[in-house]
Amino acid sequence: MIVDQQSNIVFITYKPKTHFEPAILRDAAEEAGAAFLLIQIMARGRVMEEGEKHFFIAGEDRFVLIEPPPSAPPLPAASDKELSVIASVDDSADPVRLKIVQSKPVEP
């Protein structure tokens, strides 16, 4: 974990195949007398489609993708190709929702 006190940013790195639990992060921040206003992740995974919903699957984690605003790049298409994404986390629902800010294919 890296804490940048000047910008009030916390960087947390998970080991591969570790389950992402935003509630644990929020509980730890609360115990320290702080709160996360925004959780943003960098993750590798695949986009899958089920009916009209898109999901981002990263290891054991499954996130519902939130449709981006018209000014943002469109959602990546469902594919077997692995993507690297940067996304904002909305953990107010189950499963957790992601708004992808940036995505690119992972180089083999």
- Distance separating alpha carbons of residues 103 and 78, to the nearest angstrom: 13
Q: What is the CATH number of the domain that holds 22?
A: 2.40.50.500
Q: Record the tokens describing residue 101, joined without a space.
A: 């800010």
- Distance separating alpha carbons of residues 41 and 5, to the nearest angstrom: 19
Using an 8 Å Cβ cutoff, are 88 and 39 in contact?
A: yes
Q: Tokens 């690297």 correspond to what residue?
A: 84
| Structural domain total, the chain | 1
Using an 8 Å Cβ cutoff, are 85 and 100 in contact?
A: yes
Reduced to 3 states, what is the DSSP secondary structure of residue 27? helix
Instruction: Output the pLDDT for position 74.
Output: 75
* Residue 64 amino acid letter: V
Print the domain residue range for 30: 2-105
What would the pLDDT profile of 19-49 be if each residue is shown by its tens digit? 999 998 888 888 888 888 889 999 999 999 9
Instruction: Output the pLDDT for position 18.
Output: 87
Question: Tens of pLDDT along the chain (108 residues)?
Answer: 666 666 777 788 888 888 999 998 888 888 888 888 889 999 999 999 999 899 999 998 999 999 877 777 777 788 889 999 999 999 999 999 999 888 889 987
